[in-house]
């Protein structure tokens, strides 16, 4: 059995670890599922939002405890919107002008 005096320290360490795991998960989602290639030769076949959807839900369920995690969650939501716009342009027969208009709104 643990001595009651160490419970606050254990609680703090647990909260720190949970926040660190959440931040790493958010960062991972930001670095996967994006377009590849170079300007003029963009490959959007790998673009997806599933991982961002998952991690945003996880963040809400576990609750964001730090400003760093909140900023990463906000970035995930913004990147998700951009990827959605990219995917919509793909559905619009790759119309370049339409793609620019959709993406520039974000």
Helices (H), 1-106: 7-30, 50-62, 67-91, 96-104
Domain count, the chain: 1
What pLDDT was estimated at residue 44?
87
> Is residue 11 exposed (0-12), middle (13-18) or buried (19+ Cβ within 10 Å)?
exposed
Tens digits of residue pLDDT in 20-43: 999 999 999 999 999 888 888 888
Q: Please list the ranges in the chain whose pLDDT falls under 50.
A: none
Provide the pLDDT for residue 5: 92
Q: 59 in helix, strand or coil?
A: helix
pLDDT score, position 85: 87
Please state the pTM of the whole predicted model.
Answer: 0.78
Contact present, 81 and 106 (Cβ < 8 Å): yes
Question: What are the contacts of 7-15 at 24+ separation with CB within 8 A?
Answer: 15/65
pLDDT computed for residue 99 by the predictor? 61
Domain that holds residue 59: 4-104
**Quick one: pLDDT at residue 15?**
94
């Amino acid at each position: 059995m643990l001595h009651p005096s160490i419970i606050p320290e254990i609680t703090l360490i647990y909260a720190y670890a949970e926040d660190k795991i959440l931040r790493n998960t958010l960062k991972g989602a930001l670095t996967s599922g994006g377009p590849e290639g170079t300007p003029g030769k963009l490959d959007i076949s790998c673009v997806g939002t599933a991982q961002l959807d998952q991690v945003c839900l996880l963040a809400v369920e576990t609750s964001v405890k730090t400003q760093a995690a909140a900023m990463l969650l906000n970035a995930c939501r913004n990147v998700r919107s951009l990827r959605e716009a990219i995917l919509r342009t793909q559905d619009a027969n790759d119309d370049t002008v339409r793609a620019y208009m959709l993406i520039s709104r974000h």
